[in-house]
């Protein structure tokens, strides 16, 4: 369970610093029913008290709550996907738009497609996708033509998940599996929650792409890490690439800071609705001390959205606060930790030849340093296209129309990388929040991208994601989408 940092302060703000609008918050629990009780000032009359039904582990329930509060109190709604006026990209088309079996619950998020050529000259492509908390972890599908796909089972069928992983509805998070052929073995790297709740990266092996797969007795890498990717350097040595999940850390750190010292809200947020939102979220979090990490994100998403509106400026203001000598040392430390966690790093480190361990030092190969990426980048995939290495990645919040797909190029798989000035793909009227790409080669040897996207106006955790595809090409040294 996620715990807020213990700074030795009372979790409620000092009385002298209470809000001029939010009088009180509380919870009413009746069996499985959970109601938020909110009391606030009303400029047109006496204070109002409202009760709002919520489901802690349901992302859409929080979307609805924040929409109601925005209408009634002028806070910010969680930025669920809205209608997009941008026309569809003519080269992006859907492949799978429904679950092919009732054991695939959430669609085809974080799709990794790998080409496998057999000794007899035949070719088959294999697809592995995220399963979140489904009983069967990581669906496997195969195709003979990249158009029609058939289910082939699961990396970890129900009851076969590694002992170190957390399982069960609203507890497990099995994310971003990726298969590579290494010698005569098939390696699947993946992210999952350890029993402690921390995100970690594991490795599983099999003699066939459909398994059965055997995972290691312990994670390959621990400590809040996700989105593993395996890439070979020019000498054929394997490297593990991954994302440090720092964006999981800074929101609760910031909420704790603002709850202890609410006067900082006006220094961080310019707009009245964002100030109200930051206060609301920071005080909400206190009501859920045992919230799971994804639930913490649901609770704090409107505050995160407010920061993401102009993330470079927000980070600069947070940096100033972290160096403010007038702030108590423990709160200054909270601000410093929150500021440090607003930077997402994509790292790489050498794997031993058998893939059982990491060796040497890790190196940062990409950071979130463009405005459109805001507080995170994730989902890296590195591939060689002609004479350059292209690193595809996703940026911003996965559940909003800000999420998009970026690309950077380099002469070596570990960089240095040069990013494209704009996202390669954004949300359109056809598909929203496109992201987490993988690259394979088609029957003609041309690079083809597979990625996920939400149906229009439909997004959130454990919401269906469709499998999309597009041709990729290199033009004048730049990566482009289309034939």
pLDDT of 255-314, one tens digit each? Answer: 999 999 999 999 999 999 999 999 999 999 999 999 999 999 999 999 999 999 999 999
pLDDT in tens, 215-238: 999 999 999 999 999 999 888 889
Q: Is 231 exposed, middle or buried (0-12, 13-18, 19+ CB in 10 A)?
A: buried
Per residue in 157-208, pLDDT tens?
999 999 999 999 999 999 999 999 998 999 999 999 999 999 999 999 999 9
Residues 315, 321, 322, 323: what is their CA dihedral angle, to the nearest 10 degrees? 120
Least Cα distance to 479 among 421, 396, 401, 397 occurs for 421
Domains of the chain: 1-483 (2.115.10.20)
Longest dimension (CA), the chain: 80
Which DSSP state fits 118?
A: -
- Whole-model pTM? 0.94
Rounded to whole angstroms, what are the CA distances from 476 to 78, 335, 396, 439, 480? 40, 44, 28, 20, 10
Q: What is the mean pLDDT of the chain?
A: 93
Instruction: Give Cβ neighbours of residue 174 (< 8 Å, ≥ 6 apart).
Output: 130, 131, 132, 133, 134, 137, 138, 156, 161, 165, 190, 191, 192
Q: What percent of the chain has pLDDT over 90?
A: 86
| Euclidean distance between CA atoms 180 and 170, whole angstroms | 29
Share of the chain above pLDDT 70, in %: 95
What pLDDT does 82 receive?
63
The answer to whether the CB of 167 falls within 8 A of the CB of 181 is no
Cα–Cα dist 162/330, whole Å: 39
Whether the pLDDT of residue 8 is over 60: the answer is no
What confidence tens digit (pLDDT) does each residue in 106-151 have? 999 999 999 999 989 999 999 999 999 999 999 999 999 999 999 9
- Determine the Cα–Cα distance for residues 123 and 342; give it in Å rounded to an integer: 43
Average pLDDT on 74-101 reads 87
pLDDT at 30: 81
Lowest mean pLDDT of 7-16, 38-47, 58-67, 389-398, name the range. 7-16
| Confidence label for 18 from pLDDT (cuts 50, 70 and 90) | low
């Amino acid at each position: 369970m996620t715990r807020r940092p213990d700074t030795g302060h009372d979790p409620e703000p000092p009385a002298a610093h209470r809000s001029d609008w939010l009088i009180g918050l509380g919870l009413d629990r009746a069996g499985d029913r959970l109601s938020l009780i909110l009391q606030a000032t009303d400029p047109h009359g006496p204070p109002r008290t409202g009760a709002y039904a919520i489901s802690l582990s349901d992302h859409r329930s929080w979307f609805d709550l924040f929409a109601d509060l925005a209408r009634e109190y002028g806070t910010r709604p969680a930025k669920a996907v809205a209608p997009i006026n941008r026309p569809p990209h003519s080269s992006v088309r859907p492949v799978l738009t429904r679950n092919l079996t009732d054991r695939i619950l959430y669609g085809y998020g974080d799709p990794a497609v790998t080409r496998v050529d057999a000794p007899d000259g035949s070719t088959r492509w294999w697809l592995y996708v995220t399963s979140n908390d489904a009983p069967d972890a990581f669906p496997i599908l195969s195709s003979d033509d990249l158009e029609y796909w058939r289910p082939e089972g699961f990396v970890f069928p129900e009851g076969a998940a590694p002992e170190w992983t957390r399982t069960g509805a609203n507890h497990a998070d099995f994310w971003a599996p990726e298969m590579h052929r290494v010698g005569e073995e098939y390696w699947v790297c993946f992210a999952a929650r350890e029993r402690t709740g921390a995100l970690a990266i594991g490795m599983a092996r099999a003699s066939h792409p459909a398994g059965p797969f055997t995972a290691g007795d312990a994670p390959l890498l621990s400590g809040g890490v996700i989105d593993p990717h395996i890439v070979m350097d020019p000498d054929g040595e394997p490297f593990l690439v991954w994302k440090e999940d720092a964006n999981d850390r800074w929101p609760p750190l910031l909420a704790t800071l603002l709850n202890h010292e609410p006067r900082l809200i006006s220094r961080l947020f310019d707009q009245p609705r964002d100030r109200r939102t930051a206060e609301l979220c920071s005080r909400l979090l206190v009501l859920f001390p045992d919230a799971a990490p994804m639930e913490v994100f649901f609770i704090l998403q409107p505050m995160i959205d407010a920061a993401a509106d102009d993330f470079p400026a927000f980070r600069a203001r947070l940096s100033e606060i972290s160096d403010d000598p007038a702030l108590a040392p423990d709160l200054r430390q909270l601000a410093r930790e929150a500021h440090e966690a607003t930077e997402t790093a994509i790292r790489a480190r050498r794997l031993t030849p058998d893939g059982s361990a990491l060796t040497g030092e890790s190196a940062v190969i990409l950071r979130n340093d463009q405005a459109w990426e805001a507080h995170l980048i994730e989902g890296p995939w590195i591939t060689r296209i002609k004479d350059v290495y292209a690193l595809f990645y996703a940026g911003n919040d996965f559940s909003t129309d800000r999420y998009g797909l970026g690309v950077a190029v380099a002469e070596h798989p570990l960089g240095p990388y040069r990013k494209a000035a704009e996202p390669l793909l954004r949300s359109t009227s056809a598909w929203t929040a496109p992201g987490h790409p993988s690259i394979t080669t088609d029957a003609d040897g041309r690079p083809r991208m597979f990625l996920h996207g939400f149906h229009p106006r439909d997004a959130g955790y454990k919401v269906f994601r469709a499998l999309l595809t597009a041709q990729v090409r290199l033009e004048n040294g730049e990566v482009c989408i289309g034939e």
